[in-house]
Amino acid sequence: MKIDISKFGTTLISRPAGREAYLSARAYSIPKEGDEPIELDFSKINVLTPSWADEFVSGLKNDFGSARIKVIEGDNLSVKTTFETLNASAVA
């Protein structure tokens, strides 16, 4: 299944907002049953920060497992730079 992240807004900045979006996605957007891959589509996002993305993506990975979560970054530079930063810190 694919989640269009722009449904949570297109300027995604703060940790509290990322946490709230994660809780909402967990409750309403992801089926309780099944193990199909979950695609997070950021391609319509204008502004993304590591704070928001960390709360949202890490929360879902903790709940559903990293293997099920796939991020579609799109072309926005703040999205790409956010995930480069998070991925670099995960490797470090």
Partner 1 sequence: MKALEWVIAQEGIEKPSQFYCETRDIAQARVEKMRPDFIIHKWSDDESGLLAAMAGEMAGNCFDHNLGNWPNVPGCWFEYEISDTLFRMVIADRGRGVLTTLRRVRPDLKDDHEALRVAFTEVVTGRAPEQRGNGLKFVIRSLGLLRGLQSFLFVSGDAALMLEGKVDIADVPRYIAGADTAVSGTYVELSVRKNI
Using CB under 8 A, which of the segments 21-29, 30-38, 64-72, 73-81 binds partner 1?
A: 73-81
**Per CB under 8 A, 78 contacts partner 1:** yes
Instruction: Please identify, using beta-carbon distances, which residue of 37 and 41 lies nearer to partner 1.
Output: 41
Sole window of 10-18, 23-31, 35-43, 64-72 interacting with partner 1 (rule: CB under 8 A):
10-18
Decide: is 13 part of the binding site for partner 1 (CB under 8 A). Answer: yes
Which residue type occupies 74?
G
Give dist(CA 35, CA 64) in Å, integer. Answer: 8
Q: Any contact of residue 43 with partner 1 (CB under 8 A)?
A: no
Q: Looking at beta carbons only, is 30 or 74 nearer to partner 1?
A: 74
Q: Which two tokens stand for residue 61?
A: 């990975």
For residues 59 and 77, give the distance between their C-alpha atoms in angstroms, rounded to a whole number: 23
- Under the binding rule (CB under 8 A), the answer on residue 42 touching partner 1 is no
Q: How far is CA 54 from CA 2, 32, 34, 76, 92, in A?
A: 19, 22, 24, 17, 16
